[in-house]
Structures are given as C-alpha cells and as structure tokens.
Structure 1
Amino acid sequence: MEPMSFSQQLAYHRTSSEPLQPVSQKGRRRVPSIDVLRGFVMVLIALDHTRDFFSAQIISVADPSRLTLPYFFTRWITHLCAPTFVFLSGLSVYLQASSGKSRAELSKLLLVRGCWLIILQFTVVYFVLIGPPGVGILQIIGAIGLSMLVLAVMVWLPLPSITAIGIAVVAGHNVFDTVHAEHLGHWSALWKIAHERGFISFHGRLLLSVVYPFAPWSGLMLLGYSFGQLWILPLRDRTRMTAWLGFSSIALFIVLRALHSYGDPNTWINYGPTERTVTSFLNVEKYPPSLQYVAITIGIVLLLLGWIDASLSTGRAPWLRTTLEVYGRAPLAYYIAHLALIHLLAIVTCAMTGHDWHRFATPLPYGSFIAGPPKGYGFSLPGVYVIWVVIILALYLPVKWYADYKRVHPEQWWLRYL
C-alpha cells in the first residue's frame, strides 16, 4: 500500500476518532532503524552512568567547559541520549497511529504508560539508581512519563496545531529563563517541575529533586510525533528530508551560538585556538534543554537516523541488526538492568578497594553518586571505558533473551510496559 499524502494525514487529525489506515502490512511491527538508533543511545547512556559511579574526576554540571577534551566529550556525547529517547517516543506514537490505532486508543495508551513511567521513576528506577528511599528525584523516565500525559491530550488536536505547539515550546521556553521559582510563591514547586531545576521542600523538609523539568521535553515529544508524517514517506524521500532537517538544525545551532544569540543561558567565551574555546562553545544547557541544546543534539540524531535507515534498507550494515538493535528492542528493561548492574558493581568495587561503600547506599540528599565519590575512590578515564565495555557485553545476552521473549509472546500484554 502506498504511503499517505500529507493531505491525507492532515485529514486524520481533522476527524475525531477514525484511525489512520496502515501504511503497509508491516505497520504494526517494530522499525529496525528506530530500534538501532535507540540501542545506540542506550549504549551511550551506560557510559554516562559508568562515569558517574566509577570516575575519579568530578564533573561540574554547572560548568563542564573547564574539563579537558577527553572528559568533556565523554560527558557531552551522552547529551544525545535524553533527546533521542523523547523524540523517538513521539515518533513511535505517530507510527502506532499510522498502523490503525484511533485517537482514543492512543490517548488511553499514553495515559497508562505515562503514569506507569512516573510510578517506576519513584520506585524501581529510584532504588536501582540511588538506593534506599529518601528525597525523590524527577529524572528522564519521569519527564518522559509527564510528556506522555501531555501528548495524550494533544493527539486530539489537528497535526499542524501539534507541530506549532511543539515548536513554540522548544523554541520559546528560553524566554522564561529569567523567571525563577523563588519569586513565584505558592507556584514555585510547579514552576520547578515544569521549567527550573532544583529542590522542592514542604515545611522545611526536602521532598523532591527536579533534575529534568518536563515542559521543554514535552515540546520535543510533540515534534517527534509531528516528524512521523515524514517517516512514513518512501525511503528516498524520508532520508532526504531527515538529512535536510538534521543539517538545518545543526546550522541553526552554529548561527545562534556564534552570534551569542537567543536560545541558551550559557554564553561562550573565545579563549583563542584552545580546547577551552571548543568546550565553552559546546557547553549548552541541558537542565532544562535549551533551544541551542535541542538544535545541536536533534540535528545529530536526525543525521544518524537517516544514515541508519538508508544503511539497513539497502543492506549495507547488517551488523547493526545483530548488535545495537538488541539493546533498542527492550529499552526500559535494559535501562533498569544497566542501572542496577552499575550501582551494584560500584558498591562492590568501593568495598573491595577499601573505600566507604556506604556513600553509594545512602539516600539523597546525604549520599548516592550525586554527592560525589568517596575520597580517593575512582578510576582514570581509560579505566571507566573498560568498565563500560564490560557492562555492555554483560547485558547483551540477557537483553537479547528478553527482547526475543517479548516478540514471541505478544499475548502477554504486560510485557509492553517493560
């Protein structure tokens, strides 16, 4: 069946409940290129968390530009992870719409899955990342869950409206960078959850650490959903459009950044032809994601997605299917498993090397990796990379088994939530 024209897709969003007809007989199957890209960033996020738990180098979130290039890029390359998770989540929802789900079905699925992710964030994910219960933490899983709740409402709107709202949120939220929670009285907690990183207290007791304010991420999920209209085009057309959008996004970043223009609270400093200039130029704000941060990361992600799609479709890179796709077919299970393994190995390593392992088993705000490693603990960057590779290899077979189990047991509905 031929892919639908843009006008046909718009017609779907002008009706109230009729499902979008499948673009092919494979509409309900997983998309290999999306799984490969998701698997790639899953591997990268393990590097980020391995560095958190095993590096002797403390990285300042406030100013990572002071790091040497190897440490800086070890941190910076993992900036691709969160935008990819959020963007592909939106794209996957659109593909479900194109495979026949009605708006009512999509909205219900998003509400259930969003609530489930929020529950996981404050229970299972919290435990494997932090340890015993303490101050809650709103991290990427919770932000994705909240963004899904937003998309559950937005799917009822016409597609052009969803696109416009997504662009407005992603491009416009930096206008409010000068608005701070401390000036908003009773609205301060809500503002932090939506737009400003920080702690939320109640009667002097810390309740929540907001690391990923969700509002800008929800805008990016809307853009991922809107991008779906291009993804169901024929291969040649979608790869060309994906590449064009990727290069345009990177060009936007370069122009805005070079001119010290709008879109990021961190201005950069020209130190001359030194690595400090490079790190300062690339030091864009992730918490919350600025326009410039989204422009450079999503630009790279789109180029990767286009290359992966073209390579798999023409049979040029079969190794991607046997390696990275495995991690992308069961992303949530992998995410929880890799956090648990890294955290456990850090506690064991800390104890075996004679350091205070309780730091990694003490709840926020007094302990955890966020409070920094015990004095004298940690490895150099090459050691961190070795541990990272070991962790990735150790998870390959378990994740592959679970992904295969999900595939051959579609009747077990609860597997969709892991």
Structure 2
Amino acid sequence: MTIDTTPQKTAEPIPSSTGTTAKHRIASIDIMRGLVIVLMLIDHVRERFYLHMQVSDPMDVDTTSPALFFTRLSAHICAPTFIFLAGLSAWLYAHPSRGGVRSPSGFLFKRGLFLIVLEVTLVNFAWAGSFGTFWMQVIWVIGLSMIALSLLVKLPYWLIGVIGFAIVFGHNLLTPITFQPGEFGYSLWTILHDRGYLLDSEALRIKISYPLLPWIGVIALGYFAGPLYARTVDALTRRKVLMALGLGSLALLLVLRGFNIYGETLPWEHGNTALQTVMSFVNFTKYPPSLDFLLLTLGLMFLLLTAFESRTNRALDALQVFGSAPMFFYIAHLYVLLICYQVVIWLVGPNQGALFGVEHIVWIWLIAAVLTVVMYFPTRAFARFKHATNIWWVKYF
C-alpha cells in the first residue's frame, strides 16, 4: 500500500528503480502506516485466538466487554488510514520533487489489479488455510479504490476533491436503498454499498465484506490532500492544517453524533454506566464506513500525523520500518498467525469447542507484542531489499 514519495522531512534516501535519481520517503507517513499495522496485528491476533468471543458489527454494547470493545475499536483506524494515505501517496507519485508532473493512472491501475489478485489468492488462503468462501476484504477494496482513482486522476484536481467530499459526506443518504438477492441491481449494490454474498452457491461463495463506494471518497480526499506534502509547503504550515483538519473533524463528529443528527444509522443511547454510554457513543458502522466512523478515524489520523512529523525516538523508528513495507508485513503476519494457530491446535488441541482460544484479552495484547518484535526483523530486511532492488514486482510490496 506504499507508493514511493518525496518528503519535506526525509528519512533515508531510497534508490529509484532506474538508478538515475534518488527518491525519499516521508517519515511521518511511514510512521503512521506503521502504527496502524501494529493495531491491525492486535486485531488479527484477536481473530485467531479470541474468536470464541467474536464481536458483531456494530459491536453490541450490552454483550461485549469493555476490554474487547475498545480492542476492536482501536483497529477501526486502520482501513481509513491506509486508503487515505494511498490517495495522498498517489499525488506525491504524480508530483516528484525532481522532474515534471507525471500521471499516476497507469501505476494505480496495475497496483489495484495486483492487490485484487493478492486478495483472492495469498490473503484468502492465509485466513482459512484453504479455498472455500472468498472473503473480499480490505486488500480487495484498496485495490478497487486505486483502480477508481486511476480514472479520477484524469479529472481536474478540484473536481476530485468535490467528488471525494460528496461521497464521504453524502453516502449515508443511500442507506435506505437495499436490494434482495436475485433482484436487478443486487450484485452492483453489494459491491458498492451493502455487504453481502455476491455469489452463494455450492460451487463458489464470494462474500463482499468491504463495500466500495465510501472508500472511493476516502482515497479521492487523500489525493486531494496531497499538496500538503509538496516541497513548497513548510512543515509549520502543514502541521497547522493537519491540526485544524483533525480538530475540525472531531468537533463536527461531536455535533452530528451528540445530537444524533446525521452520519450514523445507529443512534447512541445512555447506558447503565458512564462507560457504556461512551461505548454507545463511539459505536459506529464500519461496513460500509459511516460518516461518523470516518470523522473519528481520519480526525485521529490527522492529529497523529501532526505529532509524528516533529518527533523522533526508537519506538517511532521501529514503526517507520513497519510502514515502509506494509504489504510485506500484511501478508507475512497472516501466515505467521496461521502457522502459529495450527501448531497450537496440533500441540494442545481445541479448548473452546472446535476452536483454541485464550481466556483473557490481555493475552491477545501480549501475543501481539511478541509478534511485533518477531516481525520487525524480516520486515526491516525486506524494506531494505525493496528499496535497493530493481525488480519491478517487488515494488508492489
């Protein structure tokens, strides 16, 4: 999910694929990607070793423990961040610091197809250990969003922003529109807005878990935000704009959500405790992502990007490594989890019905912490290899 970018504040130089110019990466963007990758790892450990305590979507405040609720909630920032930064990176790819403007359309289209192929092959097998139902999830929707952006970039820049805002702020108006299986329009609407089975037969089952339409809006807004990282924009100005975007998003969320005005299909309610009330307030629809969901996650992302730009320490350096090779990490960690789970089943056997699961959510965080350390070294090695090699397909990882 990374496109080589040109920074204001740079990390290490990265050789270009031609070897004639030097490219750089923006440290704060890689750190942001690295953070959400670690949060994603925690959530995927939960799906392997805490599946007997599965949570619904949206999360049921009455039946889900606060620890599990907020563990799941922490991962909500992942998909919006990846897709927004994919759009932003596409703008940076199109506007390198050296040379003229170039079209990102071809790269986005090929990269999108590549991600869709990965979803239906390596990623699907990693989740189930076999090919049964094809779950079209986040990698699929990132790929389709890139393909959509490959067409949108042919439009005037301002129009891309208008389309992005219109989709993100307006798609909740489409919620009442539904189609039943077999009706004309069901397949298209399942891909665009309502998750469901695109195909459900004995021979083949395809489940759309991530409806596409809102994510087109997010990637378009990411592209529209690209000029914030142009070399003509100083760091102080960029931080001020990012801070304003973050605080503005969260303030708008408080108004829309506080009065249950618009942006979420599930109104919040007062719970028996203050904690339950907070849980209800932040319990947003993810599939498809509601406006309130995006205001929360993107608002937090803007604030974190602001913080990451001016701070350095060893922890952030480690996150930067993860963020410099996110696709490698994504695929590798799924297979690590698959192998670990199969080994545990072989050694111990199931202890939660047909599943093996740990007894407390604390174990999920501890397992994820260990795997984060384990995954650091191969990710760092691959990132160095990717940045040094001229092999074209490696760049897609």
Give the structure-2-normalised TM-score: 0.89
Residue of structure 1 in register with 2:377 after alignment: 397
Asked if 1:336 is matched to 2:316, the reply is no
Equivalent positions of 1:262-281 (< 5 A) are: 262-271=262-271, 273-281=273-281
Counterpart code for 1:215: L
Residue of structure 2 in register with 1:297 after alignment: 297
Q: 2:144 aligns with which of 139, 143, 146?
A: 146
Structure 2 vs 1, CA of residues 389 and 69 (structure 1 numbering), >3 Å: closer, same or farther? same
Equivalent positions of 1:239-250 (< 5 A) are: 239-250=239-250
Rounded Cα–Cα distance in structure 1 between residues aligned with 2:207 and 2:314: 40
Q: Deviations over 1:194-217 (max 9, x none)?
A: 111111236676521111011111
Structure 1 unmatched ranges of 5 or more: 1-20, 312-316, 357-371
Rounded Cα–Cα distance in structure 2 between residues aligned with 1:72 and 1:217: 24
Residue of structure 2 in register with 1:365 after alignment: none
Structure 2 vs 1, CA of residues 31 and 130 (structure 1 numbering), >3 Å: closer, same or farther? same
Rounded Cα–Cα distance in structure 2 between residues aligned with 1:225 and 1:373: 47
Equivalent positions of 1:52-71 (< 5 A) are: 52-55=47-50, 56-66=52-62, 67-71=64-68
Cα contact 1:90–1:224 (8 A) shared by 2: yes
Structure 2 vs 1, CA of residues 339 and 413 (structure 1 numbering), >3 Å: closer, same or farther? same
Q: 1:114 aligns with which of 104, 108, 112?
A: 112
Rounded Cα–Cα distance in structure 2 between residues aligned with 1:376 and 1:322: 35
Residue of structure 1 in register with 2:283 after alignment: 283
Rounded Cα–Cα distance in structure 2 between residues aligned with 1:417 and 1:65: 40
Rounded Cα–Cα distance in structure 2 between residues aligned with 1:29 and 1:261: 44
Residue of structure 1 in register with 2:16 after alignment: none
* Secondary structure at 2:80 match in 1: helix
Counterpart code for 1:327: F
Shift of 1:59: 1.5
Residue of structure 1 in register with 2:214 after alignment: 216
Cα contact 1:38–1:84 (8 A) shared by 2: yes
Equivalent positions of 1:184-199 (< 5 A) are: 185-199=183-197
Deviates more, 1:182-191 or 1:336-345: 182-191
Asked if 1:258 is matched to 2:258, the reply is yes
Give the structure-1-normalised TM-score: 0.85
Asked if 1:417 is matched to 2:391, the reply is no
Shift of 1:383: 1.2
Cα contact 2:172–2:264 (8 A) shared by 1: yes
Asked if 1:86 is matched to 2:90, the reply is no
* Secondary structure at 2:94 match in 1: helix
Q: Deviations over 1:123-180 (max 9, x none)?
A: 0111112221112111000000000011001111111100000000111111111111
Counterpart code for 1:345: C
Shift of 1:375: 5.3
Q: 2:72 aligns with which of 72, 75, 82?
A: 75
Shift of 1:301: 0.5
Rounded Cα–Cα distance in structure 2 between residues aligned with 1:136 and 1:183: 18
Counterpart code for 1:225: Y
Query: Kindly, what percent of the aligned residue pairs are identical?
Result: 34
Residue of structure 2 in register with 1:225 after alignment: 223
Rounded Cα–Cα distance in structure 2 between residues aligned with 1:73 and 1:253: 19
Rounded Cα–Cα distance in structure 2 between residues aligned with 1:242 and 1:377: 41
Q: How many residues align?
A: 377
Rounded Cα–Cα distance in structure 2 between residues aligned with 1:301 and 1:24: 18
Rounded Cα–Cα distance in structure 1 between residues aligned with 2:263 and 2:67: 26
* Secondary structure at 2:271 match in 1: coil
Asked if 1:324 is matched to 2:319, the reply is yes
Counterpart code for 1:88: L
Rounded Cα–Cα distance in structure 1 between residues aligned with 2:181 and 2:115: 31
Rounded Cα–Cα distance in structure 2 between residues aligned with 1:198 and 1:240: 41
Rounded Cα–Cα distance in structure 2 between residues aligned with 1:305 and 1:298: 10
Q: Deviations over 1:217-268 (max 9, x none)?
A: 1110000111112222210000000000000001111111111111111111
Deviates more, 1:22-31 or 1:119-128: 22-31
Cα contact 2:249–2:299 (8 A) shared by 1: yes
* Secondary structure at 1:220 match in 2: helix
Deviates more, 1:399-408 or 1:332-341: 399-408
Counterpart code for 1:150: A
